[in-house]
Amino acid sequence: MFVAVGDLVDELLVIAPDLMPRSSGRTLKTLARRTALPLLACPRCAAPMEPVFVGGIDADRCYHDDHVWFDASEHAVVLDRAREQYAARNPTLFARLWNALLG
């Protein structure tokens, strides 16, 4: 599944608005990962895609088209992880009260 980087950024910011400053625009920093395998060709433009980490998932990014390639349900996993991390950083009022009472 291909997702345009700008669209992925928009999805992540809806889920976790504190994920990145709004001034960063619609770009996404990805961590390169090492691999002994040959680079995959982008199915859209045939340029070599760079292996990257996105939300803890091994993915491939085409910098020529500015798209990220996810296998199967990996896109959903990245979005779910963003939700979980946002919830952990921003507990609900009930959770904060509960922790205050027990703490």
Place 46 in a pLDDT band, splitting at 50, 70 and 90. Answer: very high
How does pLDDT run across 58-71, given as a tens digit for each residue?
899 999 999 999 99
pLDDT mean across residues, the chain: 85
Cβ–Cβ < 8 Å for 91, 102 = no
Place 26 in a pLDDT band, splitting at 50, 70 and 90. Answer: low
CA-nearest of 29, 8, 6 to 75 is 8
Neighbours of 75 (CB within 10 A): 21
- Specify the residue for token string 């921003």: 90
- Going from N- to C-terminal start, the domains of the chain cover 2-102
Q: What is the pTM of this model?
A: 0.75
Q: How far apart are alpha carbons 19 and 6 in whole angstroms?
A: 14
Q: How far apart are alpha carbons 39 and 50 in whole angstroms?
A: 7
